[in-house]
């Protein structure tokens, strides 16, 4: 009797590609969850704006000042988007959502990092493509967005902020409709629900977080790198039975794929920028092996802060 042994499945694959083209080639119903942080201004990841960022010339990137001894990470300025930019953003997400809909299995979830200024536009595009909005995950994180006094009139209006200081980041949670009941869908496609934190604790829609630690930014100096402490919680929840493939079509420095490796899930990452793609391929195993304690704090970095600060930086 011959026993067929199938080769072990790769835990992750990465592609240097435009995700729109990649999605067109991908088999239908072959991805079980999408966890991603897309480019929002569309402008901020164009060659011109990336060059300005790398040259520290600003452009759409707001280069924040250094204070209390720390250099803050640059942030893209979404308030500079025109009406035309916003229409282009909606078109981009409509096309993207249609392509994602085809490759995702019924009941598959999308976790989509957003910004309070633009989330309504993106969410509408996803609903129009056929996805159901299931919730919004609130990542509690103190950022440097908002809270400033009027520019060049600080002294005249000392008690005024132009916008609130942002203390949270929305993550839209969407699902491709299930085939039948959730239990039927779970049996057939392994999707439809979210993985519980434990038997007694469901996944919750508010997650305390912190800005990405310097040790992680040292490993992957991408301007939008998300922290492992947060990403592992979200990625883990995305596969209710822990089976299937998680896709990040806008991989950046690789935080989603690294989080999937850390929780033992199969994943795929796609990145169109050559430099970020190279960065992610080197960073993923190193981010994945960082240890977190029960409260999801980094505990035992396997290399020192000094080593992290010696990693090449874009800015
Ligand atoms: C906001 S960043 C993602 C950061 C990522 N979450 C991380 O933690 O590093 C978005 C990324 O999408 C990439 N990108 C933009 N358009 C793309 C496309 N059409 N296909 C694939 N990647 C794209 C950009 O180069 C950028 O690195």
Q: What is the CATH number of the domain that holds 234?
A: 3.40.50.150
**Minimal-distance CA residue to ligand 1 atom 17:** 272
pLDDT digits (tens, 9 = 90+) for 168-211: 999 999 999 999 999 999 999 999 999 999 999 999 999 999 99
Report yes or no on 314 lying in a domain: no
Q: Residue 147: inside a domain, yes or no? A: no
**272 C-beta closer than 6 A to ligand 1:** yes
Q: Does any ligand 1 atom lie closer than 6 A to the CB of residue 50?
A: no
Contacts of 220 (CB under 8 A, 6+ apart): 252, 253, 254, 255, 279, 280, 283, 287
Does residue 295 form part of some domain?
Answer: yes
In a domain, 4, yes or no: no
- In a domain, residue 59? The reply is yes
Domain that holds residue 53: 12-135+171-308
In ligand 1, the atom with minimum distance to the C-alpha of 249 is 21
Q: Report the C-alpha dihedral over residues 287, 105, 30, 8, rounded to 10 degrees.
A: 60
- Counting the structural domains of the chain, the total is 1
In a domain, 315, yes or no: no
Task: Tell whether 92 is covered by a domain.
Answer: yes
Question: Residue 218 in contact with residue 287, Cβ under 8 Å?
Answer: no
Question: Per residue of the chain (315 residues), what is the pLDDT tens digit?
Answer: 556 677 667 899 999 999 999 999 999 999 999 999 999 865 566 666 667 677 766 666 555 544 344 444 555 666 667 888 889 999 999 999 999 999 999 999 999 999 998 999 999 999 999 999 999 999 999 887 888 899 899 999 999 999 999 999 999 999 999 999 999 999 999 999 999 999 999 999 999 999 999 999 999 999 999 999 999 999 999 999 999 999 999 999 999 999 999 999 999 999 999 999 999 999 999 999 999 877 777 775 544 444 444 333 222
Q: Are strands 70-71 and 75-76 parallel, antiparallel or unpaired?
A: unpaired
Is residue 101 assigned to a domain?
yes
- State if residue 224 touches ligand 1 by the CB under 6 angstroms criterion: yes
Tell me which residue of 197, 284, 201, 193 sits closest to 233, measured CA to CA.
Answer: 197
DSSP secondary structure string for all residues of 142-205: --SSS-PPPTT-TTT-TT--SSPPP-EEEEEEEEPPPSSSHHHHHHHHS-SS---SBTTB---S
CA distance 267 to 285: 13
């Amino acid at each position: 009797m011959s026993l067929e042994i199938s080769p072990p499945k790769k835990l992750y694959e990465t592609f240097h590609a435009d995700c729109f083209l990649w999605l067109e080639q991908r088999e239908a119903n072959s991805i079980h969850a999408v966890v991603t942080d897309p480019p929002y201004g569309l402008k901020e990841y164009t060659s011109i704006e990336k060059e300005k960022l790398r040259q520290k010339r600003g452009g759409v990137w707001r280069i924040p000042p250094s204070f209390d001894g720390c250099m803050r990470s640059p942030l893209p300025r979404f308030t500079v988007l025109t009406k035309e930019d916003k229409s282009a953003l909606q078109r981009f997400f409509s096309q993207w959502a249609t392509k994602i809909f085809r490759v995702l299995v019924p009941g598959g979830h999308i976790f989509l990092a957003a910004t309070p200024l633009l989330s309504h536009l993106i969410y509408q595009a996803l609903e129009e493509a056929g996805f159901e909005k299931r919730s919004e995950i609130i990542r509690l994180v103190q950022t440097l967005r908002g809270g400033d006094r009027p520019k060049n009139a600080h002294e005249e209006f000392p008690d005024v902020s132009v916008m609130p200081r942002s203390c949270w980041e929305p993550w839209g949670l969407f699902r491709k409709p299930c085939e039948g009941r959730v239990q039927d869908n779970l049996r057939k496609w392994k999707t439809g629900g979210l993985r519980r934190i434990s038997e007694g604790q469901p996944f919750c829609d508010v997650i305390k977080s912190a800005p990405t630690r310097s040790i992680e930014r040292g490993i992957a100096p991408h301007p939008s790198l998300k922290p492992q402490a947060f990403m592992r919680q979200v990625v883990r929840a995305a596969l209710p039975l822990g089976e299937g493939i998680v896709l990040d079509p806008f991989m950046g420095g690789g935080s989603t794929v690294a989080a999937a490796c850390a929780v033992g899930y199969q994943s795929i990452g796609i990145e169109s920028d050559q430099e970020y793609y190279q960065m992610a391929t080197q960073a993923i195993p190193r981010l994945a092996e960082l240890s977190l304690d029960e409260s999801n704090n980094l505990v035992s970095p396997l290399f020192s802060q000094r080593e992290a600060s010696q990693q090449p930086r874009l800015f």
